[in-house]
A and B are shown apart, each in its own frame.
Chain A
């Protein structure tokens, strides 16, 4: 058995079976993660509004609490007191089901993110992450595809024009970028030899920065991943799902009161989770220099710092970039991201086997790239001809 299989990381907490103490620690982990997620969503919404208003030379929320930090809480409480509407054309069951399908995956996806190192409390050693299943990455991909259903069914069940258009757009968009997303993650798995997020993080922790997957995969996959994730999250500039100018509010136009708040909560929670996932996969997760006093705290601080960097980037995207047109979005996804991520995966794999294979695959990819460019040209021309004939 090789080393790759031998160090399949599992949470050492359950090494000696599950007793009351282990169960208690698991429950505490879950409750803490749940609470922290809710509070961080609250802060994230405030942060986004505040940063955007700074970038647009406005003041932003400043009434509820110091610097308006409690504004989100006030909005949330307000929404509890709002009339809950069920549109007459709606499919009642699916309409009520959709917010669950959006919110629950948002929570569950966070469970595989390693937020810190391994700690020992009262003779119990455990990892600072909610769960560390051996198929962590697959769990993430599975859960993030379930959230597509939330968006799709919400739009479909509303029985209204704009939500339906928004949700059909959304499903095509999310499905397209999921292919690129899955392909980019393969490179991380190749280098980490494991689907467990803890293994992936540990594999990056030899030297600061140079051993991160960001460098080891050759920088490009990181950017592919960030673009794919942004599209998957329906964040600007890929927020065609709720393009206000065309679709009123997109897939959640018909939702009111707390049901609407659930979609909002899920959206921001996904932003936080996916920022954390980027950090985990490409920036070494909680990896960073640590010092002797309170040594368990440093990894957490590194993790939070890196995640905050990406949260700020998302807000920055929203303030700076105009929305893409739908054909541009699809062309970017299918004709650039997917072929590029597939090709780069093969190059990384070939170089892992031997240098000569790597050179050979690069040459083959240039040929394939030329072929693809030609086929794009032919395809566009053919469609144009077809259009003219029919006209």
Chain B
């Protein structure tokens, strides 16, 4: 276990370093009550009128789930990689069978379009043609219909 001692020491030292930095910052930094605008979510000065999205494209979750398949495969491959000499042909055949099974499921996922990312066509149709007029809102006295909304 002594081999892990320096790792633990480094872990402790870096945690202490981070904690002390925060303490130093809180001592040195100006302590005044920030204005409401300062603590509001930063959106480049535009007053936010939409809540941060609570739901995300399911594709992101899908990636996380598919990752599990490969992560488990990797977890199984490491012990074999360390001892492949002892296992020899037997180990290789086992790993080939295992890899083939994982590969079949991967091919199934890919052929279902599970890992296909570009925007779905329906979204592109629903959005309509994108032009400068439709995407850039003008601000100021001669601004378009969006200009008065934030006020």
A residues engaging B (CB < 8 A)? 2, 4, 10-11, 14, 17-18, 22-23, 26-27, 29-31, 33-34, 79-89, 96, 99-100, 103-104, 106-108, 110-111, 130-134, 137-139, 158-162, 164, 168, 171-172, 175-176, 178-179, 182-183, 186, 189-190, 193-195, 248, 253-254, 257-259, 261-262, 326-327, 330-331, 334-335, 338-339, 342, 345-346, 349-350, 352-354, 357, 361, 364, 368, 371-372, 374-376, 378-380, 382-384, 386-388, 390-391
Contact = CB atoms under 8 A, between A and B. Distances in A.
12 contacts: A26-B5, A160-B41, A172-B64, A178-B67, A182-B74, A183-B77, A195-B78, A248-B43, A258-B21, A346-B96, A350-B96, A375-B107
B149 interface: no
Interface in B54-95: 56, 60, 63-64, 66-67, 70-71, 73-74, 77-78, 81-86, 88-89, 92, 95
Interface of B: 2-7, 9-11, 13-15, 17-18, 21-22, 24-26, 28-30, 32, 34, 36, 38-44, 48, 50, 52-53, 56, 60, 63-64, 66-67, 70-71, 73-74, 77-78, 81-86, 88-89, 92, 95-96, 99, 102-103, 106-108, 110-118, 120-126
A130 B3 contact: no
A contact face: mostly helix, strand, loop, or mixed: helix
Contact of B41 (A87, A339, A372): A87
A339 B99 CA distance: 10
A172 B134 CA distance: 31
Contacts of B56: 168
B76 to A, nearest CB: 10
Given A87-B40, A172-B60, A104 B25 contact: no
A158 B41 contact: yes
A379 B113 contact: yes
Contacts, number: 261
Given A353-B89, A383-B116, A175 B67 contact: yes
B14 A103 contact: yes
B84 A175 contact: no
B52 A164 contact: yes
